[in-house]
Each structure stands twice: as structure tokens, then as C-alpha cells.
Chain A
């Protein structure tokens, strides 16, 4: 055990963890909107819209996140037309490519979580709203969405933790996040176990915090 290396690498890894958290929070926020959008499409009765939304979530859940990042980062740059548009400002940055991939990925999982949450809402609740003369729009935004959010909290908590682990793939497209820095230190010092303990410890700490925040929210918004 090289304690000195562990102590020395801790601040470096900690500042890299900030990048991990940034990647995580930005992609979760964008992913939540994507997820909500596709969950609403899934509830649509039009078969084409429905199938489109299902296809989106099937493709993004059925392929590895690594493939998705590589298609966006290496693949899209190949299209000449894209290079001439304003989109290129975003797509040439590995940071934004990673965020786009993460957001689309988590959006697919979130849409499934929200869809099942919407479907478990008892029809009686919607009917109660209607009989009170509330418009459909208000029923959706003020009754169905809050209930769906509460229902989906446990599953969404898991998704946040999975996504946090997913952000480690950003290191494959040159971003120095927690895993990227850990790999760099390992490959320069050849002390994998020490670095793994420190980096893994930071990841576990973040998992622990997320887990407890979700638990707290579940309790706060529980119906009982």
C-alpha cells in the first residue's frame, strides 16, 4: 500500500469528481425533459407516434452507452453538411457530445419509468378531477404529473445512480472526469489498487448521498 500516493491523488480525484457531477446533473436535467416528452408520446393513441416513441426507447436501451457516445462523437463529425451548420460549435466539443449521448440515454430510461408511473395512476383520480370541472390540461399538469413523479421516485433514484456510473464513459472521449483522471494516475504510477480505492471511495460516497436524498424525497412526498 502506497499511502502517500493515495493522499496525493485525493485532491486531483476530488476535483475530477466535480466534472463527473457536472456531466451528471446537466444530462439528467436535459434527460428528464426528453423522458417526459417521450412518455407523453407513448400515451398518445396515434399508433405512429406511439411506435416512434417506443422505437426510440428500444434502441437507446438495447445498445451500449459506449456505442452511442462513439456514434455522436466520432460518427456525426463525418457528415460534411453538419460541419457547416451552427450545430458544429456544439458537436466538436467532446464535453457536449458526451452530454448529448448521456441525455438521450437517460431520456429513454426515464420515459419508460414515467410511462409506467402514468399508467399506474388510478382512473378514479382523473375522473374525480373531471367531475370537479377541472380542464384536461390542468388535470394533467396539477394532478397526473405530481402523482407520476411521486410514483417514479424509487425507479428514478436507481436511474440517477446508473447514470452516475455511466458518466465514467466520458473518459473514453478524452474528458478528464473521475474515471479519466483515475486511469491517468494508474497508467503513470502503475498502482491500480491504491487509486481504485480512492476513486471508488469517492464514487461510493456520491452513490450514498444520492441514495439518501431520494429516500428523503420519497418520505417527504409519500401519500401516508
Chain B
């Protein structure tokens, strides 16, 4: 227990901040994923074959390649890409990109591929009559989407999005290879300096279990909220 003390003598406060970091990266990544889904879901449902092809390539490639490889691409390639763009504008100094941004972007792109599939499935399973009824009622485009289609999408999508959230949360452990101090990285540091890897990695596992447990409870509430009336 001494090992977990707060302050200079233990690793309690470090691990606490690391847990907050994991939560922050997960939420940012999930949000970036939603942005990607917002772009790619319409492309997936579009009748244009070319747009279809782009969206399908995105989801197939990302879901078929290991997360770790994608992270390595961003970690090693990110700085190069940014410096290349900067050099076009005449800036030739070394630029270091924040590990948080690189990590959240890499996990976000992965999470986005899963979210896109979830939203596509949800939209496709909405009855055509709903769209027609909304038209008949004379609602405008926004009213149609926000008042009629979106609530139904959410009801169908939330259970699957909770899976995506779990995947995203667990994937953030991989960002530790880039040096961002989240749960896994902090446990690695603590294990190295105390020579007690068994304790710290087991404790990391407990922290992750706690995070998944609590988030499942919260998501279940959302699920109940959005399925009232059914």
C-alpha cells in the first residue's frame, strides 16, 4: 500500500493523474472519431460509387491493420508531415508535435472507422416510412434530421457505440509507446523504478476495469434514456 501513497513517497498521485490522462485521451479520440464518422457515414450511404469507394477504403483499411502500426505511422510520420507542410510556407526549424495530439488523432481515426460502421448500420435500419412521414409533415431538412431521424439513430447506435468506446479506451494503452504518460506509461515508469512490475501492472489492470465498469454504468443510463417509448 505504501507504493500507492500520494506525494513524494508513493505513486498514488502519479497514477491518479495518469488515469485522468487516459480518460482525456479516450474522450478526445472518441470525439475525433465522431467527426470522422460525420464525414464518412454520408459517403458510405451515398449513391456515388467513387465516394462509396473512398469511405469503404477508409473503414476496411483501418479495421484490417493493427492499431499499433497506425500509431507508429503517426508517431514517426507525424513530425515529418508537419515539417514538410511548414517548409512549404518557408519554416524550416524542427517542430515537435505534442504526444497527446498525435495519440488522440491516431486512436481517433481508428475509433472513427468503427463509429462510421455503427452509424451506417443504424441509419440503414431506420424504416423508410419515417423519412417519408417527416416529408409529409412538411418539416424542413434540419427539423427532419434532428427531431425525427437523429433520436432514432441514437437509440439504435448507443449499444454499439458503447462497444466502440470500450475499444477506444483500451486502445489508448497503446499510446504509451509514444511516451504519453497515461496509465500504462506511468505503470511502466513505476514498475521500472520500484522493480515491482507485477503490482503496478496488476494495478493498471484494476484501473482499466474500473474505467470500463463505470463507463458501462453511465452508458446504460443513456441507453435507457434514449429507448423510452420502446
Contacts and interface: CB of A to CB of B under 8 A. Distances in A.
Interface residues of A, number: 40
Interface in A38-84: 58-59, 62-68, 70-71, 74-76, 78-79
B76 A67 contact: no
B170 A64 contact: yes
A75 B76 contact: no
Contacts of A76: 198
Given A64-B208, A172-B177, A182-B69, A74 B76 contact: no
Contacts of B65: 165, 200, 203-204
Main secondary structure of the interface of B (DSSP, over half): helix
Interface stretch (B120-128, B150-158, B199-207): B199-207
B90 interface: no
Nearest to A169: B68
B76 A190 contact: yes
A165 B67 contact: yes
B210 to A, nearest CB: 9
A135 interface: no
Nearest to B188: A70
Interface string A156-168: 0000010011111
Given A67-B208, A71-B205, A75-B202, A168 B77 contact: no
B201 A190 contact: no
Nearest to A60: B205
B201 A192 contact: no
A62 B198 contact: no
B204 A203 contact: no
Interface residues of B, number: 37
Given A59-B209, A192-B72, A204-B61, A67 B201 contact: yes
A204 to B, nearest CB: 5
Contacts of A182: 69, 72
A203 B184 contact: no
B184 A66 contact: yes
Contacts of B72: 179, 182-183, 186, 192, 196
A6 B49 CA distance: 30
Contacts of A179: 66, 68-69, 72
Contact of B205 (A59, A190, A199): A59
B197 A196 contact: no
A171 B68 contact: yes
A161 B191 CA distance: 32
Interface in B59-104: 60-61, 63-69, 72-73, 76-77, 80
Given A192-B80, A196-B77, A200-B69, A67 B173 contact: yes
Interface in A129-176: 161, 164-169, 171-172
B68 A71 contact: no
B184 A168 contact: no
Nearest to A183: B72
Contacts of B213: 62
9 contacts: A62-B209, A62-B212, A67-B184, A68-B205, A75-B198, A76-B198, A179-B69, A200-B61, A204-B61
Given A71-B198, A75-B202, A204-B60, 19 more contacts: A59-B209, A62-B209, A63-B170, A64-B173, A64-B184, A66-B174, A66-B184, A67-B204, A67-B205, A70-B184, A74-B197, A76-B198, A165-B64, A165-B66, A167-B66, A168-B68, A190-B80, A193-B73, A204-B65
